[in-house]
C-alpha cells in the first residue's frame, strides 16, 4: 500500500489523538511511595516539650552552624525560623493570657520545626540533578552540596517550607536538616534526640515509633506514663509524666503520603503551623505522572516528524528515479 503525505498526516493525527486519550487517564499518576521497613524517624511529642531549646543548641553544634540573632533580640541566638544558619527551631503557640500548657484558649504549646523526611518527598522528585536524595533503607532525605546547581526547585516544591537558600552569600547553598546522617553513620543518634531531657524528641525505627504513638493514644489522660528518651528501645533512663489529652491523630502517618518525622500534640496541628486538609497521596505521585505523560506525548510528534521526513525523502527519491529513467530512455 502506498501512502501519500496527506494520508500520512491524517493517520498520524488520528494516532496522536488516540494515544493522548488512552494514556491521559493512566499516566497522570503513580503510586505514592511506601516507607521502607528499616526507615528511621523521630516522634516529637509537643506535650512533653518544655521549650528548653537544648535541641537547637545541639543541632547547631553537631552541624557547625553559626549563631543567628534578630533585630528584635540582637544580643541572643534567637532564630525565629529555619534558615541557612538554623536547621531546627522550637516555635511557640500562644493564645490569650498564655497561662496553660497545651491548652487552646489562654494556653501555649511548643513546636519543633525542621525537615520531616517525607516518605515520598517533593524536593527529591523535582531536583533535576539528584542533589536531593532519599536513602532506600533509612529513608533519610539528604542534600548533596557538591551536586547542587542552585536552581532552588526544592525550596519552591517543599509543602512544609523547609529547604532554605543562603541568599546573603555570594555562592549560597541550600540548607536543611539531614537527620544528622553523619552521626548516624557512626552509630550515634541525631543530636537533638540525644540531648532532649524529656523524650519530647525521640529517635527510632518508624515502625517502633508508630507503635509507641498508638500506646500513648490508648493510655488514659492523666495516668502516669513512662516515656522513653533518646533512642527508642535504648537503656537510657526514661522520663515519667502524666499522659496528656492528645489530638486523636498522629501527624505524619498519612499526610501527603506520610513523613518519617511524626508529631503528637494536645492542640490542633494547624495551630502549630502544620498544613492540614492535605491529601493522603504525595504530590510527586501526581506531578511525576504528568511529567512522564508529557514525555510520552512528545514521542508522538517525534514519530510524526520522523514519518514526514521519510515520506518526503521517499517522494524525492521516486521523482529522481523517474527522471533518471526518462533520461536513459531518451538517450
- Cell, residue 164: 532554605
Contact call for residue 65 and ligand SF4 (CB under 6 A): no
Q: Which of 131, 174, 180, 264 binds ligand SF4 (CB under 6 A)?
A: 180
Q: Which is nearer to ligand SF4, 27 or 267 (CB)?
A: 267
DSSP string, 230-273: SBTTS-S--EEEEPP---SS-BTSSGGG-BSEEEE-SS-GGGGT
Contact call for residue 163 and ligand SF4 (CB under 6 A): yes
From 66-74, 197-205, 213-221, 225-233, span contacting ligand SF4 (CB under 6 A): 197-205
Q: Which of 131, 142, 176, 228 binds ligand SF4 (CB under 6 A)?
A: 176
> 10 Å Cβ neighbour count for 306?
9
- Cell, residue 73: 533580640
Q: Which of 3, 8, 30, 51 binds ligand SF4 (CB under 6 A)?
A: 51
- Cell, residue 61: 553544634
- 263 forms beta bridges with 44, 251
Q: Which is nearer to ligand SF4, 158 or 300 (CB)?
A: 158
Contact call for residue 191 and ligand SF4 (CB under 6 A): yes
CB of 102 to ligand SF4, least distance (A): 13
Contact call for residue 162 and ligand SF4 (CB under 6 A): yes
Q: What's the CA angle centered on 260, arms 254 and 261, to 5 degrees?
A: 100
Q: Which is nearer to ligand SF4, 114 or 210 (CB)?
A: 114
Contact call for residue 118 and ligand SF4 (CB under 6 A): yes
Contact call for residue 88 and ligand SF4 (CB under 6 A): yes
Cα–Cα distance, 216 to 218 (Å, whole number): 5
C-alpha dist (Å) from residue 82 to 89, 139, 161, 167: 6, 22, 9, 14
Contact call for residue 282 and ligand SF4 (CB under 6 A): no
Q: Which is nearer to ligand SF4, 49 or 243 (CB)?
A: 49
Handedness of CA 182, 129, 139, 271 (dihedral sign): positive
- The residue assigned the cell 503525505 is 5
Contact call for residue 196 and ligand SF4 (CB under 6 A): yes
Phi-psi region of 117 (alpha: psi -120 to 50; beta: other; left: phi over 0): left
CB of 99 to ligand SF4, least distance (A): 19
From 7-15, 174-182, 217-225, 300-308, span contacting ligand SF4 (CB under 6 A): 174-182
Closest CA to 257 of 115, 114, 154, 120: 120
For residues 95 and 126, the answer to whether their CB atoms sit within 8 Å is no
Listed in sequence order, the residues at least 6 apart from 107 whose beta carbon sits closer than 8 Å to its beta carbon are 93, 94, 95, 96, 98, 99, 100, 101, 267
Contact call for residue 49 and ligand SF4 (CB under 6 A): yes
Q: How many residues of this chain interact with ligand SF4, rule: CB under 6 A?
A: 43
Q: Which of 192, 209, 243, 300 binds ligand SF4 (CB under 6 A)?
A: 192
Contact call for residue 119 and ligand SF4 (CB under 6 A): no
Q: Which of 32, 198, 265, 285 binds ligand SF4 (CB under 6 A)?
A: 198
Q: Which of 27, 116, 140, 264 binds ligand SF4 (CB under 6 A)?
A: 116
- The residue assigned the cell 529517635 is 203
Residues of this chain that bind ligand SF4 (CB under 6 A) = 49-55, 58-59, 62-63, 87-88, 90, 110, 112, 114-118, 121-123, 141, 158, 160, 162-163, 176-180, 190-192, 195-198, 200-201
Amino acid at each position: 500500500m502506498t501512502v501519500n503525505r496527506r494520508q500520512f498526516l491524517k493517520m498520524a493525527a488520528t494516532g496522536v489523538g488516540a494515544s493522548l486519550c488512552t494514556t491521559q487517564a493512566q499516566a497522570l499518576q503513580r503510586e505514592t511511595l511506601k516507607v521502607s521497613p528499616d526507615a528511621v524517624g523521630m516522634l516529637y511529642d509537643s506535650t512533653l516539650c518544655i521549650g528548653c531549646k537544648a535541641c537547637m543548641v545541639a543541632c547547631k553544634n553537631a552541624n557547625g552552624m553559626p549563631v543567628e540573632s534578630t533585630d528584635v533580640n540582637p544580643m541572643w541566638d534567637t532564630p525565629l525560623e529555619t534558615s541557612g544558619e538554623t536547621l531546627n527551631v522550637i516555635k511557640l503557640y500562644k493564645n490569650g493570657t498564655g497561662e496553660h500548657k497545651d491548652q487552646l484558649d489562654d494556653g501555649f504549646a511548643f513546636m519543633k520545626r525542621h525537615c520531616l523526611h517525607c516518605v515520598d518527598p517533593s524536593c527529591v522528585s523535582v531536583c533535576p540533578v539528584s542533589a536531593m536524595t532519599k536513602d532506600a533503607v533509612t529513608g533519610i532525605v539528604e542534600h548533596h552540596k557538591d551536586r547542587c546547581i542552585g536552581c532552588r526547585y526544592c525550596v519552591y516544591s517543599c509543602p512544609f517550607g523547609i529547604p532554605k537558600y543562603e541568599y546573603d552569600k555570594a555562592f549560597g547553598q541550600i540548607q536543611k536538616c539531614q537527620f544528622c546522617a553523619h552521626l548516624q553513620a557512626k552509630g550515634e543518634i541525631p543530636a537533638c534526640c540525644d540531648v532532649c531531657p524529656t523524650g519530647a524528641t525521640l529517635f527510632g525505627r518508624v515502625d517502633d515509633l508508630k507503635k509507641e504513638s498508638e500506646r500513648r493514644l490508648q493510655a488514659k489522660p492523666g495516668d502516669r506514663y513512662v516515656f522513653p528518651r533518646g533512642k527508642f528501645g535504648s537503656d537510657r533512663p526514661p522520663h515519667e509524666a502524666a499522659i496528656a489529652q492528645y489530638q486523636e491523630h498522629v501527624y505524619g502517618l498519612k499526610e501527603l503520603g506520610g513523613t518519617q518525622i511524626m508529631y503528637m500534640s494536645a492542640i490542633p496541628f494547624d495551630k502549630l503551623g502544620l498544613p492540614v486538609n492535605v491529601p493522603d497521596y504525595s504530590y510527586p505521585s501526581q506531578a511525576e505522572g504528568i511529567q512522564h505523560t508529557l514525555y510520552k506525548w512528545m514521542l508522538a510528534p517525534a514519530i510524526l516528524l520522523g514519518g514526514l521526513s521519510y515520506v518526503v525523502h521517499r517522494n524525492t527519491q521516486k521523482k529522481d528515479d523517474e527522471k533518471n529513467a526518462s533520461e536513459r530512455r531518451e538517450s
